[in-house]
């Protein structure tokens, strides 16, 4: 193992022990400047999501190659950084949640699924080493991590954009309606009060 990966591996162990402690501590008592770091959670979370998704085609490509020596080092480095970024994203999520104002049910699911993603991405590092020639074990672990990440993203979307944001059968309502630009004028419903509305009202009717 290179020195770079050795440092990353040990750093991950320390960070994930701290992450486990965060699960049982009251984070809201931390100084404000520390809690402010949680505001970056909605920004940085897209990076681990993207990397986990890219992990799938990269892994499939390596499995189909006969000579992977030139890419195995890059793949191992990618696994370590996915685990590191996922862990840091989970930390930022803890800090952001301390501000309050979120639906507690969705927050609970999002919190534990995010923690599961952080630990499962770290576990992928060791699974890759222990089951190098057993693709079934590796694929099961990789796709499980992907599914957990997608589930966590679903509840995260609910927290940010509202319940059912990712629902396919959701009736999408426009945020701005024609009624927002009109008002009742002289007792005539639909009479437009804006210049644009007045011009539309004056158009000849067919």
Distance CA 15, CA 116 (A): 14
What does 172-202 look like in DSSP terms, one character per residue?
Answer: ---SS-GGGGB--BTTBTT-B-SHHHHHHHT
Q: DSSP code of 40?
A: G
Closest to 118 in 3D by CA, of 85, 92, 140: 85
Copy the structure tokens of residue 39. Answer: 């505001």
Tens-digit pLDDT string for the chain (206 aa): 578 888 999 999 999 999 999 888 888 888 888 888 888 898 898 999 999 999 999 999 888 877 767 788 889 999 999 999 999 999 999 888 887 778 788 888 888 999 999 999 999 999 998 887 788 999 999 999 999 999 988 888 777 776 666 566 655 444 444 454 454 444 444 444 444 444 444 555 55
Cα–Cα distances in angstroms (integers) from residue 169 to residues 129, 165, 172, in the given order: 43, 10, 9
pLDDT at position 4: 85
Q: What are phi and psi of 185, to 5 degrees?
A: -130, 120
Name the H helices within 65-134: 69-97, 104-130
Q: What distance in Å separates the CA atoms of residue 24 and residue 47, rounded to the nearest whole number?
A: 26
Q: What is the C-alpha separation between 133 and 121, in angstroms, rounded? A: 19
pLDDT, position 166: 59
What whole-number distance in Å separates Cα of residue 50 and Cα of residue 29?
32
What pLDDT is recorded for position 167? 64
Count how many Cα atoms sit within 13 Å of the Cα of residue 121 in the half-sphere of its side chain.
Answer: 33
How far from each other are the two terminal CA atoms of the chain, in whole angstroms? 78
């Amino acid at each position: 193992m290179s020195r770079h990966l050795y440092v990353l591996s040990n750093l991950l162990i320390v960070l994930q022990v701290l992450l486990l402690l965060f699960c049982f501590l009251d984070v809201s008592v931390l100084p404000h400047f520390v809690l402010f770091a949680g505001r970056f959670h909605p920004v940085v979370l897209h990076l681990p999501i993207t990397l986990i998704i890219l992990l799938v085609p990269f892994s499939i490509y390596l499995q189909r190659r006969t000579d992977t020596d030139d890419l195995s080092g890059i793949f191992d480095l990618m696994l370590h950084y996915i685990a590191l970024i996922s862990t840091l994203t989970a930390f930022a999520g803890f800090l952001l949640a301390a501000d309050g104002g979120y639906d507690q049910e969705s927050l609970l699911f999002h919190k534990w699924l995010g923690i599961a993603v952080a630990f499962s991405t770290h576990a992928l590092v060791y699974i890759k080493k222990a089951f190098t020639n057993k693709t079934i074990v590796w694929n099961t672990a990789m796709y499980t991590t992907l599914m957990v990440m997608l589930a966590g993203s679903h509840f995260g979307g609910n927290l940010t954009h509202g319940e059912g944001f990712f629902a396919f059968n959701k009736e999408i309502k426009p945020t701005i309606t024609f009624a927002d630009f009109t008002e009742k004028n002289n007792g005539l419903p639909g009479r437009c009060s804006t210049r644009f509305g007045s011009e539309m009202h004056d158009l000849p009717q067919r």
